[in-house]
């Protein structure tokens, strides 16, 4: 999965939870305007990706893994 932000952030935290609220992935990227990560070992289903930046911006995206 690739997320592009359009500006460089000092710190970006990515957290992924499944539809049951279980955290399956968490990582931090530094000084980036885009991040790439994979969840190849996750089961099929609905997931929520939460992105937090050092500027206190937060976004939550949902996706379905087939």
13-39: average pLDDT: 94
Please check whether residue 24 is in contact with residue 31, taking contact to mean a CB–CB distance below 8 angstroms: no
Indicate whether 33 pLDDT > 90: yes
Nearest 5°: phi and psi at 7? -155, 160
Q: Is the pTM of this model over 0.75?
A: yes
Q: What is the mean pLDDT of residues 42-57?
A: 94
- The percentage of the chain sitting over the pLDDT mark of 90, rounded to a whole number, equals 88
Domains in the chain, ordered, with CATH?
2-65 (2.60.40.3080)
Predicted local confidence at residue 44, as pLDDT? 94
pLDDT above 90 for 39: no
CB 12 within 8 A of CB 52: yes
């Amino acid at each position: 999965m690739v997320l592009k932000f359009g500006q460089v952030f000092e710190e970006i935290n990515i957290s992924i939870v499944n539809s049951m609220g279980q955290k399956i992935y968490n990582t931090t990227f530094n000084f980036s305007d885009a991040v790439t990560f994979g969840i190849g070992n996750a089961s099929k289903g609905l997931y929520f990706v939460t992105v937090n930046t050092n500027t206190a911006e937060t976004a939550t995206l949902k996706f379905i893994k087939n």
